[in-house]
Structure 1
Amino acid sequence: MADFRSDTVTQPSLAMKERMFSAALGDDVFNDDPTTLELQSVAAKLLGFEAALFAPSGTQTNLIAMMSHCQRGDEAIVGQQWHTYKWEGGGMAVLGSIQPQPLELQADGSLALSDIAAAIKPDDPHFARTRLIVIENSVGGKVLPLSYMRDVAALAKDTGLNCHIDGARLMNAAVALAAQHQLTPLQMARELCQGYDSVSLCLSKGLGCPVGSLLLGSNAFIARAKRVRKMLGGGMRQTGMLAAAGLYALEHNITRLADDHDNCRRLAEGLTALAAQLPALRGKLTALPVQTNILFTDVELQLAELLLPYLAERGIKLTGSNYQSAKGDIKRLRWVCHLNISSDDIARTLQAVTEFADQV
């Protein structure tokens, strides 16, 4: 089976399971789980922060961050397609009483600096108090460059705002950018975080852990964050079994993300070639550009409604959503490559699409 639905579907390897099984355990609520303390210390040092906090999910670490930076009635500037705004159940508003100020994304996935600056409210009781800028990197598989990340951090500093990175796939961005900056992926990740007050790093996506996310920041920030985590029900006990998976992932699963990027490019190139060669797909399937491990393909709706069940019958899973385009009704399919997608899976998927087109 080739499960392209998300990089959250990854299964822990045998080596990761062995690390989890043998982890030293304590009680994290009492702050004495040794493996969790080690994970938090290691992650903070790797990314250049004073401290870190382990939590069950990236949704929770993002919410903890926003509630630690902002008070009731404060405002956070976000992107309209950011996970923090669109895909986290409205938690910042519902649970944090934080007003989101969503901005339209640019074609490259960024927020225009001029739009961010224009959205910052003056100190006036008519307005919510702007307190935080949230950036996501990578976003929908697109990588925001180091120069842009630095510009946003500088803007936040100049305007007296805090800034947070939703880095659910930060390591994918780091791997994609490292070579052009002549840095290792870990060095690149650290550079992307410089100047930011906090970052959320998901362990259960491309890094392959079964559960968990880290929030990183200053000692004072993490002290506030720990209190918020408790309020949100995120205080767990023998977390060392989960933290051990995180330690394994940071040691072994970062540089290998390049394999996922390569597989995703091969998939995009293969689908593009098939769309050019096969009459049933010509003009009806378009693969969008790939930067990391996520590929989007636009498929004519009627064709997609035949393609998806055909692939599912052959153990190939993916997700999609409908939208209107100038060409008519389109389904945008999302293919996510990860450590459980092999080069053979890519070849088998392309063969299945070929066989489908021959039968349509």
Structure 2
Amino acid sequence: MIDLRSDTVTRPSPAMQQAMFEAPLGDDVFGDDPSVNGLQQQACELLGFEAALFAPSGTMTNLIALMSHCQRGDEAIVGQQWHTYKWEAGGMAVLGSIQPQPLVHQPDGSLALHDILAAIKPDDPHFARTRLVVIENTTGGQVLSLDYMQQVQQLCKAQSLACHIDGARIFNAAVAIASQQQQDPYQVARQLVAGFDSISVCLSKGLGAPVGSLLLGSHEFIAKARRIRKMLGGGMRQAGVLAAAGSYALAHNVQRLAEDHQHAQVLAAGFNEAVAQHQLQAEFSCHPVQTNILFCDLSPKLADFLRQQFTEQGILCTAGSYQSADGQRCRLRFVTHLDVSLAQIQQVVAVSQQVLAHYARNNTRNNARDNSAVL
């Protein structure tokens, strides 16, 4: 099985499991689990925040952040494809009574600064009070630059707005930038988040921990967040067994994210070569790859055939349909991670070569038969 559905499918390595087995435990609701406290302190030191809070999921840490920053009837500016807006079951509205103001994304994945400014509501009782701007980095695998991140936090400060990062894959962004500039990814990560009021960091995606996310902010903010975590049912007792996995991940699995990025590039290059070889450009196109996520847009017919063949070969990905100017298209998503080797990526490329060759031959035969019928 080659599972490219998501980097959430990773399993703890033997070394991570050993760290979990040996973790000293306490009661985190009372604040005395040494492994949880150690993880929270470790994250603060890495990213430059005063305090942190461990919670079961990134969906929860994002919701805790939104409810800590906003009161009932406040508004949060988000992107239309942000996880906080589209993929978290409407939690900010349903549980937080927070009004989302979604904005259209730019081609690079960012929100235009002038769109953010235009969305801020006047201080008028007819409107929800704009209180927060949420940024996601990476977003769909795209990296938002250091300059852009700083421009957003400076805009928020100038407008007296709080600013939160959904940084589920912030270390993927940091590694991508660091690889280009020959810098330390931990230092780049600190620069990416500098000046923001809070950030949510997922430990169970590319970093390879089985469970958990961190919310970071000021002491005052995290004190409020701890109360909301309790309200949402997120207090855990002997959570150190999970926190130990997160500590191991932050120490050992950040720099290796570069391998996942390289594997995604190999996968995209292999697909593009096969598509060009069999002249299927009208039916199969790959989006540019920046980190560990590759999106491919296919005709529905080719997508169905490719996925069927992949499934038979034990290759998993995710898919969704959308309406384009050229008609219905299917978007496949492939996510590389620490449980997929270069040899397995090369195997996927080899299978795709065979599948696309077979598809192209069938298309040629079908077109020939159609032409004969017409004659």
Alignment of 1:1-40 (within 5 A): 1-40=1-40
Residue 283 of structure 1, CA deviation: 2.4
Counterpart of 1:345, as a letter, is Q
Q: State how many pairs are aligned.
A: 359
Q: Residues 149-164 of structure 1 correspond to what in structure 2 (within 5 A)? A: 149-164=149-164
Residue 205 of structure 1 corresponds to 205
Contact 2:6 2:335 in 1 (8 A): yes
**Structure 1 unaligned spans of 5+:** none
Aligned to 1:252: 252
Match of 1:79 in 2: 79
| Contact 2:76 2:134 survives alignment (8 Å) | yes
- AA aligned to 1:355 is Q
- Partner amino acid for 2:163? C
Residues in 2 aligned to 1:103 and 1:196: alpha-carbon distance in whole angstroms: 20
Do structure 1's residue 116 and structure 2's residue 98 form an aligned pair?
no
Aligned residue identity for 2:38: E
Q: Which amino acid aligns with 1:208?
A: G
Q: What letter matches 2:67 in structure 1?
A: M
Partner of 2:326: 327
User: Where does residue 219 of structure 1 map in the other structure?
Assistant: 219
Q: CA–CA distance in 1 between the matches of 2:286 and 2:11?
A: 27
1:356 is displaced (CA, Å) by 1.3
- Quote the Cα distance in structure 2 between the aligned partners of 1:358 and 1:122: 59
The residue aligned with 1:267 is 267
Query: What does residue 351 of structure 1 align with?
Result: 350
SS at match of 1:206: coil
SS state at 1:141 partner: coil
Q: In structure 2, what is the equivalent of residue 93 of structure 1?
A: 93
Under a length normalisation based on structure 1, what TM-score does the superposition of the two structures give? 0.98
* Secondary structure in 2 matching 1:329: strand
Superposition CA RMSD, Å:
0.9
Match in the other structure for 2:295: 296
1:192 alignment partner in structure 2: 192
For residues 107-146 of structure 1, the aligned pairs below 5 Å read 107-146=107-146
Cα deviation 1:156-181 (Å, max 9, x = unaligned): 00000000000000000000011444
2:228 aligns to what? 228
User: Helix, strand or coil: the match of 1:52?
Assistant: strand
1:130 Cα offset (Å): 0.6
Given that residues 53 and 226 in structure 1 are in contact (C-alpha distance below 8 angstroms), is that contact kept between their aligned partners in structure 2? yes
Asked if the contact 1:78/1:134 (under 8 Å) is kept, the reply is: yes
Deviations 1:235-267 (A, max 9, x none): 010000000000000010000000000000010
Pairwise CA distance, 1:282 = 4.1
Paired amino acid for 1:79: G
Task: Give the corresponding residue for 1:311.
Answer: 310
The residue that corresponds to 2:341 in the other structure is: 342
- How many Å apart are 1:325 and its aligned residue? 1.9
Q: Distance in 1 between matches of 2:113 and 2:54?
A: 31
8 A Cα contact 1:55 1:235, kept in partner = yes
Asked if the contact 1:275–1:283 (Cα under 8 Å) also holds between the matched residues in 2, the reply is no
Q: What amino acid is aligned across from residue 206 of structure 2 in structure 1?
A: G
Name 1:68's counterpart in structure 2. Answer: 68
Paired residues of 2:179 and 2:258 also in contact (CA < 8 A): no
User: How far apart in 1 are the matches of 2:100 and 2:252?
Assistant: 37
Change (3 A) 1:85 1:52: same
Q: Sequence identity, in percent?
A: 63
CA contact (8 A) 2:275 2:356 kept: no
| Residues 37-52 of structure 1 aligned to structure 2 (within 5 Å) | 37-52=37-52
* Letter aligned with residue 8 of structure 1: T
8 Å contact kept, 2:323–2:329 = yes
Question: Following the alignment from structure 2 to structure 1, what is the Cα–Cα distance between the partners of residues 348 and 53?
Answer: 39
Unpaired runs of 5+ residues, structure 2, are 360-375
For 1:177 and 1:282, the matched residues in 2 are separated by 30
Structure showing greater radius of gyration is: 2
1:56-93 per-residue CA deviation (whole Å, 9 max, x = no partner) reads: 00000000000000000000000000000000000000
CA deviation after TM superposition for structure 1 residue 26, in Å: 0.4
Listed one character per residue, the Cα deviations across residues 323-342 of structure 1 (whole Å, up to 9, x for unaligned) are 12233221010000000111
Q: Is the 8 A contact 2:176 2:291 kept in 1?
A: yes
Q: State how far apart, in whole Å, the 2-side matches of 1:182 and 1:150 are.
A: 20
Alpha-carbon distance between aligned partners in 2 of 1:124 and 1:228, rounded to the nearest angstrom? 28
Find the aligned partners of 2:323 and 2:89 in 1 and give their Cα distance: 25
CA distance in 1, matches of 2:167, 2:281: 37
Deviation string, structure 1 residues 270-296 (Cα, Å, up to 9, x no partner): 1001000024x3421111100000000
- SS of 1:324's partner is strand
SS in 2 for 1:200: strand
Give per-residue Cα distances to partners, 1:100-155, cap 9 Å, x unaligned: 00000000000000000111111110010111000000000000000000000000
Aligned partner of residue 5 in structure 1, secondary structure: coil
Q: AA paired with 1:339?
A: L
Rounded Cα–Cα distance in structure 2 between residues aligned with 1:326 and 1:154: 37
Which amino acid letter does the alignment assign opposite residue 359 of structure 1? Answer: H
